[in-house]
Each structure stands twice: as C-alpha cells, then as structure tokens.
Amino acid sequence: MNLGIMLIIALAVIVVIFFGAALTIVQQANRYVIERFGAYTETKGVGIHFVIPFVERIAKKVSIKEQVVDFPPQPVITKDNVTMQIDTVVFYQVTDPKLYTYGVDRPMKAIENLTATTLRNIIGDLELDQSLTSRDLINTKMRIILDEATDPWGIKINRVEVKNIIPPKDIREAMEKQMRAEREKRQAILLAEGNKQSQILNAQGEKAAAILRAEAEKEVRIQEAQGKAEAIVEVQTATAKGIELIKKAGPTEAVLRLESYKAMIEVANGQATKLIIPSDMQGVVGMASTLLEAVKK
C-alpha cells in the first residue's frame, strides 16, 4: 500500500470522526443552547443537529419538563414574634432556555433564596393563628411573587406549596392541650345532649302512658255509668210493667194489703235492726188471724 492510499484512508477516518463529533441528537423535552466562539447562537430543538467542532459548542442542556424542588425548612418570625420553621415545595418549568442559561447564575440557589425571603415577608404580616390556618393564602402570594421574579430568568413558577409548619415546642404543647380540651368539651356536650334527649323521650313516654291510662279509666267509668243507667232503666221498665199488670188485674184492697205485708217480710229479712209497721197493717194482721181460725175449724 503506497503513501497516497494511506493518506486517503486517514483523511476518511478523520472526516468520519469529525462528522460523528459534529452530529448531535436532541431528545424530547430537551433544548440545547449553542454558542459560537463563546457567543450565543441558537437553541436547538428536538432532532439531529450539526455542531461545528472547535467553532460551536453546547453551552447548556436544558430540560423543559415541569420539575419539583423541595427546599429545607426556613426559620420565620410571625407578626406576634413567634419563631417557627416552614419548608416549601416549588413546582417550576423552564420556558426560555436562553434566559435560563444567561439570566442568573445557579438558578435553583437563586429560587431557594428568593423563596426564603418571600416567605419571611409574608409570614411577618401574619400572626401565629393566621399562619397556621392560611396556607392557601400563603401559597397563592408566594406563587405570584416568585413567578414575577423568575420571569426574567426564563422560569415559570406553576405552584408553590407550604409543606410543613413547625411551631416551637411550647406552642405545640399548648396547641395539643387546647385541642384535647376542645375534644373533651365536644364530648361533654354530646353526652349532655344525649342525656337531654333521653330525658325528653322518657318524659314524652310517661306523658303518653298517663294519657292512655286516663283515657282507659274514662272509658271504664263511662261503661260503668252506661251499665248502671241501663240497669235502672230496665228496673223502672219492669216496675212500670208490673204496675200496669196490677192495674189491669183490678186487685181488691185485701190483696194489696197482703202484698204490702209480703214486702214488709222481705224488708225484715234484710240487715235492718228495727222495723216500723204502719198502723193500717194491724187490720191486715187481724184479717190473717181470722182466716187462720176459719181454717182450723
């Protein structure tokens, strides 16, 4: 093999290596920032691109996917001078790779410091109770402020979440005691309400039972009165019928006196200790004696 062929082969190898080094593949959801002789040239999108070796270089590979960064707890002081620890989670997305590359040095460190100062400013205007119950307000204010501040850096803040709010130990103990007292209070109220309802139901039951007993006794008395009234009516009716029959029979005075005597005998069989006989009953006794003597003869 002569020298010319060897040179051709070497040149071909150099060309292959040159083109292999110059070809760049940009993957999905990524952007490459290209510099030429140290100056920004363009941003490469998805696909195969040619970067001239020794002339152009990839300054930064940027992901445009939404990303999450969890910052460590930051000490903050509330309006009523209570120091507590708050850690936040920031959801962000790079919208401009060029600004992200050249806008700020160490973007994540810048966002962390900006988050800490913004959080201190917001919490400084709130008291402890408001800080513990106003997470949505804190999240919204922080997102708006951070989004405006990071816009020149090519970063969009999609969401900010307060992850944990850690008050001092003595405050936590006081809050736990307060919560325990509230639970005990609610329990006592529920028990009192239950007892009250139970007593009301018992009273209503006793009232209903008393009404039913009164109604029953009333019905019994009504039935008894109706029975006595019917009995009196029947007795009077029978008496009237007996008198009517006696009138129709036309009894003599002697018969009437004998019947009166029978009635007196029935009265004497009762519980009476004294018996008063009318004067006209003597005639009846005399007539009975006469009849007795006639029978004997």
Between 267 and 291, the more confident residue is 267
pLDDT tier for residue 22 given thresholds of 50, 70 and 90 = confident
For the chain, give every domain's residue range.
3-62, 67-167, 256-297
CATH of domain 67-167: 3.30.479.30
Percent of the chain with pLDDT over 90: 29
The CA R_g of the chain, rounded to the nearest whole Å, is 60
Write the pLDDT tens digit of every residue in 192-206.
Answer: 888 888 888 888 888
Q: What is the pLDDT of residue 98?
A: 93
Alpha carbons within 13 angstroms on the beta-carbon side of residue 50 total 3
Q: What is the pLDDT of residue 259?
A: 61
pLDDT over threshold 80, residue 211: yes
133-137, 170-174, 221-225, 271-275: the lowest-pLDDT one: 271-275
Q: Tell me the pTM.
A: 0.56
Between 102 and 12, the more confident residue is 102
pLDDT over threshold 80, residue 213: yes
Write the pLDDT tens digit of every residue in 64-98.
Answer: 999 999 998 989 988 888 888 999 999 999 999 99
Q: What is the pLDDT of residue 131?
A: 85
Tokens of 1: 């093999």
What number of other Cβ atoms are within 10 A of residue 167's Cβ?
19
What number of other Cβ atoms are within 10 A of residue 44's Cβ?
21
pLDDT over threshold 70, residue 294: no
Tokens of 200: 């009301």
pLDDT over threshold 50, residue 158: yes
Write the pLDDT tens digit of every residue in 29-72.
Answer: 999 999 998 899 999 999 888 888 888 889 999 999 999 999 98
C-alpha–C-alpha distance, residues 104 and 162, integer Å: 25
Write the pLDDT tens digit of every residue in 237-290.
Answer: 877 776 676 667 665 555 556 566 565 565 555 555 555 555 555 554 455 445
Average pLDDT, stretch 163-189? 81
Between 226 and 250, the more confident residue is 226
DSSP letter string, the chain: --HHHHHHHHHHHHHHHHHHHHEEEEPTTEEEEEEETTEEEEEE-SEEEE--TTTEEEEEEEE-S-EEEEPPPEEEE-TTS-EEEEEEEEEEEES-HHHHHHS-SSHHHHHHHHHHHHHHHHHTTS-HHHHHH-HHHHHHHHHHHHHHHHGGGTEEEEEEEEEEEE--HHHHHHHHHHHHHHHHHHHHHHHHHHHHHHHHHHHHHHHHHHHHHHHHHHHHHHHHHHHHHHHHHHHHHHHHHHHHHHHHH---HHHHHHHHHHHHHHHHTSS-S--PPPTTHHHHHHHHHHHHHHHH-
Instruction: Please check whether residue 59 is in contact with residue 33, taking contact to mean a CB–CB distance below 8 angstroms.
Output: yes
Average pLDDT over the chain reads: 81
Write the pLDDT tens digit of every residue in 129-147.
Answer: 888 888 899 999 999 999 9
pLDDT over threshold 90, residue 153: yes
Percent of the chain with pLDDT over 70: 78
Q: How far is CA 245 from CA 136, 224, 238, 251, 261, in A?
A: 108, 31, 10, 10, 19
Q: What is the pLDDT of residue 97?
A: 94
C-alpha–C-alpha distance, residues 90 and 295, integer Å: 142
pLDDT tier for residue 295 given thresholds of 50, 70 and 90 = very low
